[in-house]
Amino acid sequence: MAVNTGLAHLSDALFTTAIATYSLAMACYTAEYAFGRRGRVAATSRAEARVLVGAGGPSVEQPVAEAPARRSSTRRAAGERLGRLAVVLTVLGAAIHLGSIALRGVAADRVPWGNMYEFSSVAGVIAILAFLGALWRAPQIRYIGVFVMLPVILLMFLAGTVLYAKDAPLVPALQSYWLAIHVTAAAGSEGILITSAVFTVLFLIRQRYDAVTAGAGRLRFPVTLGARLPAPETLDKVAYRTVAFAFPIYTFGVIAGAIWAEAAWGRYWGWDPKETWAFIAWVIYAAYLHARATAGWKGRSAAWINLLGFGAMTFNFFVVNIVISGLHSYAGLN
């Protein structure tokens, strides 16, 4: 069971290339966000709303100073082109990224998500794919790709530096086909939930922006970003749909973990720290799904619950794996 080092190195190289490609894509999304057509439309409609609201109210500084001003059509076309280029780069990056993951598995002849580096890599590519999937259904959200690329690139950077582990065969505790099932479900749902968290943050920004522009208060970063974001209802809906999609997968992942735990440790549930935090995150996301259907909790409160769930999930990955010792330290028998 030796590791093919040539392939392993190629996988590492592809990983770096994927980060570079995503970064280029992010630059293009940013450019489109700044000059793009969508951005202009959002800004204009917002400014019109301002005029209406401001009619009887106190005079407030014009928030989007130059938004309704004329913008040359060449600039608009450039924004459009950059946006398309960004999507092409994202797809290319995802393909390279998938190649890196596949080669890593081939090199060691095993499922390529046996440690934190590999898990982050898989969750990252799933987040990208989830965004591309959302894009497929709602092409108008393209220009906010920058907000999805940013956390993914950060995650991959962390993975490539702090969490990096050399390709190696699996320890006995991980030698089970449940690794493929349990960890795939976990990484998949967590990748999708990253996307959901991004849309939730954007929703909160946009809502705050609306509140500030409708009443008093000063616009400051990051609320200023709200000027060019889609309507809060759209953002809220995308955030909800992604959680609704990921939650059953997450639940399945936890159950698959319980089945594996029964085979490996002699009990399906033992309140190991990892299990406890998976439970906590699950309960919080369940609360989110309920809150969204409850009067008085809809909107902002529900959005914060979503972020709380994401916080618990992130804590479970970073803090529980690195700081708190438990059975999931990938040690098993030793």
Partner 1 sequence: MRAQATRYVRLAWRRLISMRTALVLLFLLALASVPGSLLPQRPLNPAKVDAYLRTHGGWGRFLDRIGMFDVFGAAWFAAIYLLLFVSLAGCLVPRIRQHARAVARKPLPAPKNLDRLPESGGFASGDTPAAYARAARAVLGRRWRIVQRDEPDGVVTLSAEKGYTRETGNLLFHVALLTALVLIAVGRLFSYQGSVIVQQGQGFCNSPTAYDSWRPGRMAADGRIGPAPFCIDSLNQFTATYLTDGEPSKFSADVTYSKVLPDGTDGPAIHHTITVNHPLRLEGDRVYLINHGFAPKVTVRMPDGSVQQDQATFLPTDPSTFLSDGAFQEQGPQGAGKDVGIEGFFAPTPAVGNDGGVTSASPQVDNPVLGIFVYEGTLNPNGLPQSVYSLNKAELHRIGQANLRIGQTARMPNGIAVTFDGWVPWVSLQVSHDPTQGYLLIVAVTAVVGLIGSLAVRRRRLWLRITPAPAGKPDSPTVVAVGGLARSDTGNFTTEFAGVLSRLRDAATLIEPALVGAGKE
Smallest gap from Cβ 274 to partner 1, in A, equals 8
Does residue 18 touch partner 1 according to CB under 8 A?
no
Question: Which one, 32 or 275, has the nearer CB to partner 1?
Answer: 275
Show contacts with partner 1 in window 173-202 (CB under 8 A): 173, 175-176, 178
CA distance 304 to 317: 20
What is the distance between the terminal CA atoms of the chain, rounded to a whole angstrom? 19
Does residue 95 touch partner 1 according to CB under 8 A?
no
Smallest gap from Cβ 286 to partner 1, in A, equals 6
Does residue 322 touch partner 1 according to CB under 8 A?
no
Question: Which one, 154 or 331, has the nearer CB to partner 1?
Answer: 331
**Could you tell me which of 245, 139, 230, 236 has the C-alpha nearest to residue 191?**
245
Does residue 247 touch partner 1 according to CB under 8 A?
yes
CA distance 334 to 127: 34
Smallest gap from Cβ 212 to partner 1, in A, equals 27
Does residue 314 touch partner 1 according to CB under 8 A?
no
Query: What DSSP string runs through 24-72?
Result: HHHHHHHHHHHH-HHHHHHHHHHHHHHHHHHTTS-----SSTTTTS---
Residue 284 CB coordination number (10 Å): 19
Candidate residues 140, 157, 271, 322; the one interacting with partner 1 per rule CB under 8 A: 271
Candidate residues 219, 231, 286, 307; the one interacting with partner 1 per rule CB under 8 A: 286
Smallest gap from Cβ 299 to partner 1, in A, equals 14
CA distance 155 to 126: 12
Candidate residues 60, 158, 258, 307; the one interacting with partner 1 per rule CB under 8 A: 258
Which tokens in the block code for residue 274?
Answer: 């990892």
Which tokens in the block code for residue 45?
Answer: 């409609």
Cis? peptide before 222, omega within 30° of 0: yes
Does residue 164 touch partner 1 according to CB under 8 A?
no
Does residue 320 touch partner 1 according to CB under 8 A?
yes
CA distance 128 to 116: 18
Question: Which one, 151 or 326, has the nearer CB to partner 1?
Answer: 326
On whether the CB atoms of residues 194 and 321 are closer than 8 A, the answer is no
CA distance 286 to 297: 13
CA distance 190 to 205: 23
**Could you tell me which of 83, 135, 99 has the C-alpha nearest to residue 242?**
135
Question: Which one, 173 or 229, has the nearer CB to partner 1?
Answer: 173
Q: How many residues bind partner 1 (CB under 8 A)?
A: 55
Smallest gap from Cβ 160 to partner 1, in A, equals 22
Print the binding letters for residues 118-157 with partner 1: x by CB under 8 A, - otherwise.
-------------------x--------------------
Q: Which residues of the chain form contacts with partner 1 (CB under 8 A)?
A: 1, 137, 168-169, 171-173, 175-176, 178, 237, 241, 244-245, 247-248, 251-252, 255, 258-260, 262-268, 270-273, 276-277, 279-280, 283-284, 286-287, 289-291, 293-294, 296-297, 312, 320, 324, 331-334
